[in-house]
Amino acid sequence: MKRAAILHGTNGDPRKSGWQKWTKSILTQAGYEVFFPHLPDSNEPDLTKYDAFIKQSGWDFGGNVVIAHSSGTSALLHLLGQKWFPPIQAAVLVGTFLNVSKLKGVDWYTPGQFDKLFVENIDIQTVAVKSKSFYFIHGDDDPYCDYDEAKTLCKKLNGTFTTVYGGGHLSSSSRADGFPELLNVLRQNKIV
C-alpha cells in the first residue's frame, strides 16, 4: 500500500485545514493510506515534542510521501536529519519556514514563539539521502517565510522549486477547493 503523511504548520488543525484536508482526499483517492496528525502545542512548535510525538505515533514513515507546510517543513527537515527516521519517497515542502527574519512587526507573532523549532545547521548530506526527491512550493510574496532562502535550500538539496505567484504564505486555511500547483507537482512526478 502507498503511504503518505501531512505535517501542518503553526496552529494547524487536520479537521479544519483547507488545502491540506483537500490533499488528503486526493491522496486517498489515489490509493494512499494517509497519516495527518494534530501536532502537539503547534502554537509554539517544539522539535523535541514533535520528535517524541512522531516516534510514539506508531506510523511507519518508511517510503512515504511527506507533505509539510510552514513550521511543519522545519519539523520535516529535523526528522530527515535524525538517525532513527527512515528514508522516504518524497518530501514536499510548502512555504518553507527556516527562521523568524520576516516576522518582526507581525501582529500574531510573539518573540520566543519559535525558539524550539528551527534546525540550527541543517546537515545537507544527511537530509539529502533521506528522501529520493524534494519538491519546494513557495509563494513569491510569502510575508512570513523567506522565498530566496527556500530557493537556496532547494538548490542545496537538488530539489525542484515551484513558485506560486501571488500565493502569499499558502496558508492551510486557503485553497480549500484545491491547490493546483501542488496537484501539478504530484501528477508530474507520478505521485498521484
d(CA 189, CA 34): 18
Q: Are 175 and 121 in contact (CB under 8 A)?
A: no
Higher-confidence residue: 17 or 96?
96
Q: Which of 67, 11, 38, 62 is nearest to 181 (CA)?
A: 67
pLDDT of 112 reads 95
Ramachandran class of 11: left when φ > 0, alpha when ψ lies in -120 to 50, beta otherwise: left
Query: What per-residue confidence (pLDDT) applies to 159?
Result: 98
Q: Which CATH class is domain 2-188?
A: alpha beta
Average pLDDT over residues 115-128: 94
CA distance 149 to 122: 13
What are the pLDDT digits (tens) for 42-85? 999 999 999 999 999 999 999 999 999 999 999 999 999 999 99
Per-residue confidence at 98, pLDDT binned at 50, 70, 90? Answer: very high
Which residue is it, cell 484545491?
178
Edge-to-edge order in the sheet of strand 160-164: 32-35, 2-7, 65-69, 88-94, 131-139, 160-164
**pLDDT attached to residue 13:** 85
Q: Are strands 65-69 and 131-139 parallel, antiparallel or unpaired?
A: unpaired
Cβ within 8 Å of residue 186, ≥6 positions away? 26, 92, 192
Nearest CA to 134 out of 150, 109, 101, 157 is that of 157
The 10s digit of each residue's pLDDT in 133-188 is 999 999 999 999 999 999 999 999 999 999 999 999 998 666 767 899 999 999 99
pLDDT at 28: 97
| 124's grid cell | 545537507
Q: What is the DSSP letter of 9?
A: -
Domain boundaries, the chain: 2-188
